[in-house]
Amino acid sequence: MKRAMLAAIGLFSLSVFVLAAAAAGGTTRYVSPSGVDNPACSKNSPCKHVQQAVNVAAAGDAISLARGNYVEQVSIAKNLTVTGAGSGASTISAPAVLVPDSHGFLNIVEINSGASVQMSQLAVAGPGSGTCRSIDRGISVIGGASLAITQAAVSDIRDNPGYLSNCPNGFDVGVGTQARGPQMIDFEVGHLTIDHTTLTGYQRFAIFVHHAGSTAQIDHNTIKGAGPCSPCNGPGGIIVLSGASATIDHNTISGNECNDPSLPCGPVWPDDYQSYGILTSGVASSTVISHNSLNTNDVGIYTDSGVTIDHNDVASRDFGIVTDYDNAAHVEYNSTTGGIYGIFEFGGTGTFSHNSASGSSGADLRWDGTGTPSFSHNKCGTASPSKAIWDCH
């Protein structure tokens, strides 16, 4: 690999969560900033800490968070439903000092031990307190656990300050393998369903999915990097790696820029660093990237795998869609505007059809001449090696 969001639907989802807990005969536990921790966490006597409610709860219970800020870490290893008073009303915030999990990682919320957890109407927020490696993930899903989260927000999972940091930590949501650079890796599997959630202020990636067996359904979210910023060391939007599988659709992703000259960041492929809206590398061929809107990212979409990329609207700073190495991607019905290259293919056997590209300074469509890709029914202003090869009209 190169060095590399309907009120009705939301209310329906929330009601499903509550009904599911009720159908299972679960008890609702209550938490409030003005509460006092106790063995019941009842409506009339709420607990003060979310973790206390988790500890008291039995599998299948629901936890209701009142409006307020909960400064604590939360670890969940049982099936629970956690509901706040709104993504801007109930916030679980990083404490001044984060305690590492059993693998040494610093997470605000961790779902583990095969638990199946549903969360909605709440926020998780950083930052960490240090200038480097002070926080790893806002939400971490590991140990074969599953998280379904909707109508939520995750923000500022970064060091303080963090946008200038070259440190390899700071993920809004991480699924599967935990990593803090090559020296500290914990191989894990996790499963994520996330929708109608806003992810901002991440230092490294908004959503990170890693390891064979890890899965993600990522749809209707808003993901916004730090850009425009200068210098900015290159955060990324959605990153899926190493055998994981994901369906990524109907997301709005912007502002993932690399502007730090010391890296160096820049538009020269493959020598410079770039930031990505969506990056998939070594992923399962079942991965689908569809109907997303991406703008002001260095690279809109990157893959080196046999994924499906269709019906995306991409306006990037440098490259719209990049298909790399021995990819066998299916790239169809996408629209790219601006940048240096709209679609940039090299070294693969993919299919490129019914794409529209315009306004690129280098070429709307570019193939480096290696591999055996196929091109048909594309639209462009310019193409390399030629419009005829790209079947561009």
pLDDT tens digits, one per residue of 170-224 = 999 999 999 987 878 999 999 999 999 999 999 999 999 999 999 999 999 999 9
Residue 354 has pLDDT above 90, yes or no: yes
Token pair 């990212």 in the structure block, residue: 297
CA separation for the pair 91, 87 (Å, rounded): 7
Comparing 64 with 271, which gets the higher pLDDT? 64
pLDDT digits (tens, 9 = 90+) for 87-129: 889 999 999 999 999 999 999 999 999 999 999 999 999 999 9
Cβ atoms of 327 and 346 closer than 8 Å: no
pLDDT band per the 50, 70, 90 thresholds, residue 377: very high
Enclosing H/E stretch for 113 = none
CA distances from 227 to 32, 235, 256, 269 (A): 36, 9, 6, 21
The pLDDT tens digits for 305-346 are 999 999 999 999 999 999 998 899 999 999 999 999 999 999
The band of 11, judged by pLDDT with boundaries at 50, 70 and 90, is: very low
**Average pLDDT across the chain, whole number:** 91
pLDDT band of residue 165 (cuts 50, 70, 90) is low
In this predicted structure, what is the pLDDT of residue 263? 79
pLDDT mean over 28-40: 98
Q: SS3 of 228, please?
A: coil
pLDDT for 317: 93
Strands (E) across 134-292 are located at: 137-141, 146-150, 153-155, 171-176, 178-179, 185-186, 191-195, 198-200, 205-210, 215-219, 222-224, 236-241, 245-249, 252-254, 276-281, 288-290
Tell me how far apart the alpha carbons of residues 208 and 90 are, in angstroms, rounded to a whole number.
24
The confidence score (pLDDT) of residue 261 equals: 76
Please tell me the predicted confidence (pLDDT) of residue 161.
78
Question: Over pLDDT 70: what percentage of the chain?
Answer: 91
Q: How far is CA 34 from the centre of its chain?
A: 33
Helix (H) or strand (E) holding 64: strand 62-65
pLDDT band, residue 162 (cuts 50/70/90): low
Strand 137-141 relative to strand 171-176: parallel, antiparallel, unpaired? parallel
Q: Cβ contacts of residue 256 below 8 Å, gap of 6+?
A: 225, 227, 234, 235, 236, 237, 275, 276, 277, 296, 297, 298
Using one digit for the tens of pLDDT, what is the confidence trace for 180-190? 878 789 999 99
Is 6's pLDDT higher than 70?
A: no
**Token representation of residue 356:** 């529209």
Token representation of residue 362: 């280098």
Residues 261-290, mean pLDDT to the nearest whole number: 92
Q: What is the pLDDT of residue 260?
A: 78
Q: Domains along the chain? A: 7-384 (2.160.20.10)
Count Cα neighbours of 232 within 13 Å in the Cβ-side half-sphere: 23
- 240 has pLDDT over 80: yes
Q: What's the whole-number mean pLDDT along residues 235-242?
A: 95
The span from the CA of 117 to the CA of 192, in Å, is 10
Confidence at residue 311, expressed as pLDDT on a 0 to 100 scale: 98
Amino acid type, 214: S
Q: What gap in Å lies between CA 260 and CA 229, rounded to an integer?
A: 9
More confident residue, 242 or 3: 242
| E strand segments, 78-145 | 80-83, 90-93, 107-111, 116-120, 123-125, 137-141
